[in-house]
Amino acid sequence: MSTIQSDAAARDGVPSLSAAALLRLSVAVAVPVCAFALLWTLSVAHYYFMNTAPAQRAGFLAPAVRVVEHVLLLPLLTGSYFLAALLFARGGRPRRVLLEQLTLLVAFSLLVRPIYFLATSLGLGGASEPFDFAHFLDAMDLDSWLSTALNYSLIYALGLFILFGLIVLAKYRQEQLRAAAMRANWLQAQLETLRVQLHPHFLFNTLNTISALVGSQPEEARDLIAQLAALLRDSIEGAGGEFYPLRREVELANRYLRIMSARFGPRLKPALAVVPGLEECPVPHGLLLTLLENAVTHGVSMITGDGELSLRCALEHELLVVEVRNRYDPDATPLPPHRGGLAALTTRLNALYGDACVLEYGGNGAGLWYTRVTLPADCTSAKSGDAGAGGRTRAQRVLT
């Protein structure tokens, strides 16, 4: 049994080169090759016809007989090419493959002359030969047989080279699709890993806050548990989607800020501003949470006194701008970077948008820090995730 199998649902999602595909290629090559052979035969016959004495022209076959001959040859040529394609696609030792192809070539070439006799026996165009063994042997003289076999072996070989080229091209395109599928799977796995890394220490800080409130403020603790449960539920349910409407991300940001307000008390002064009309604009899931967490971890938690924290979402020059501003201590020792934060966000935005997205951050040296993300506001571009694929997100630190 042939090792070429029809596997339209391959493990990597790329269909294999099935027998049906090889049959379609064989038909696509056999039809023009057979038409070429017919035209070539008619042109040669016409040349000899014009250079033959009129008294001897009666022995030439009518064009209709040649047409019937090649109509009968077409199924044989298609079958030979299909079998050759199966053997070629299967692969194996070069010597064995060459021997198999030569066998098919010789077999097809030797069958052309008998099909020619069959066409003449049908009596089309005024030419007719009795269909019996004696006339068959007379028509199958060795010189005519070998001459016809040689001519059609060259035509068969021409089509065979074209067929093999198409098979190699199809395999090459398959490998490209398979490589693209593997890259997409790898990219998806990387995005899932980065998403898990975005908020590793937030959970521990929240649990510590809840633990401190359980005895003294049980109602507040229960409310925080509900807020945390909603965030965790969203993280689990949103594992299959890379983009969320901005309004949902704002809802998650409000839950996060509710938890942080319980942790830092009245000194945390958050403010959210979203320009109307942007509620349904898709943004990467967890974008706002990552920016807010970065502001809290490296800004609010490092200062004393009021911790002003603002989030702004606006449309500027057909681009969606998400900006977080917070107070920070310019003289404080920076915290060591963790696995998530802006580094993971930069990698994730790079994978989703490429050069179509810009992430900027910086401080003015006087206690005000900003982090700004600019990305396409067009829903189609954002959902497809292919705006400038392969590029890099530009992460800039600007000190003014």
Last residue of a domain, one of 187, 220, 242: 187
Residue 43 maps to a domain: yes
Reported as a single tens digit per residue, the pLDDT across 206-238 is: 788 888 888 888 888 888 888 888 877 776 665
What range does the domain containing 89 cover?
19-187
Q: Do 144 and 291 sit in the same domain of this protein?
A: no
pLDDT of residue 262 exceeding 90, the answer is: no
Q: Do 113 and 24 sit in the same domain of this protein?
A: yes
Residue 269 maps to a domain: yes
C-alpha to C-alpha distance for 271 and 285, rounded to whole angstroms: 21
Mean pLDDT over residues 113-122, rounded?
79
Name the amino acid, one letter, at 185.
N
Q: Residue 384 is encoded by which pair of tokens?
A: 């497809």
Last residue of a domain, one of 164, 187, 210: 187
pLDDT of residue 390 exceeding 50, the answer is: no
Reported as a single tens digit per residue, the pLDDT across 276-298 is: 888 889 998 888 888 988 888 88
Q: What residue spans of the chain are helical by DSSP H? A: 19-50, 63-90, 94-121, 133-139, 142-197, 200-216, 218-237, 246-264, 287-298, 341-353, 379-384
Residue 369 maps to a domain: yes
Q: Do 106 and 183 sit in the same domain of this protein?
A: yes
Instruction: DSSP for 49-94, please give it.
Output: HHTS-GGGGGGSPPHHHHHHHHHHHHHHHHHHHHHHHHHHHH---H
Last residue of a domain, one of 133, 164, 187: 187
Residue 69 maps to a domain: yes
Choose between 349 and 55: higher pLDDT.
349
Range 394-398 contact pairs with CB under 8 angstroms and sequence separation of 24 or more: 394/355, 394/358, 394/359, 395/342, 395/346, 395/359, 395/360, 395/361, 396/358, 396/359, 396/360, 396/361, 396/362, 397/360, 397/361, 397/362, 398/360, 398/361, 398/362
Q: Do 294 and 239 sit in the same domain of this protein?
A: yes
Mean pLDDT over residues 115-135, rounded?
63
Residue 192 maps to a domain: no
Q: Do 173 and 203 sit in the same domain of this protein?
A: no
Q: Residue 204 is encoded by which pair of tokens?
A: 């521990």
pLDDT of residue 95 exceeding 60, the answer is: yes
Mean pLDDT over residues 55-65, rounded?
60
Mean pLDDT over residues 7-34, rounded?
74
Q: Do 131 and 209 sit in the same domain of this protein?
A: no
Give the per-residue pLDDT at 104.
Answer: 92
Q: Are 322 and 387 in contact (CB under 8 A)?
A: no
Reported as a single tens digit per residue, the pLDDT across 149-186 is: 888 889 999 999 999 999 999 888 888 888 887 777 66
Residue 220 maps to a domain: yes
Give the per-residue pLDDT at 350.
Answer: 82
Q: Do 393 and 354 sit in the same domain of this protein?
A: yes
Residue 1 maps to a domain: no
Give the per-residue pLDDT at 382.
Answer: 38
CA 121 to the chain's CA centroid: 55
Residue 30 maps to a domain: yes
pLDDT of residue 353 exceeding 80, the answer is: yes
**Number of structural domains in the chain:** 2
385 in the Ramachandran plot: left (φ > 0), alpha (ψ -120 to 50) or beta? left
pLDDT of residue 1 exceeding 70, the answer is: no
pLDDT of residue 199 exceeding 60, the answer is: no
* CATH number where 243 lies: 3.30.565.10
Task: Indicate the pLDDT class of residue 105, thresholds 50, 70 and 90.
Answer: very high
C-alpha to C-alpha distance for 280 and 379, rounded to whole angstroms: 9
Q: Do 303 and 364 sit in the same domain of this protein?
A: yes
Q: Do 202 and 326 sit in the same domain of this protein?
A: yes
Q: Do 165 and 272 sit in the same domain of this protein?
A: no
Q: Do 172 and 217 sit in the same domain of this protein?
A: no
pLDDT of residue 203 exceeding 90, the answer is: no
Reported as a single tens digit per residue, the pLDDT across 36-50 is: 988 888 887 766 666
Q: Do 384 and 239 sit in the same domain of this protein?
A: yes
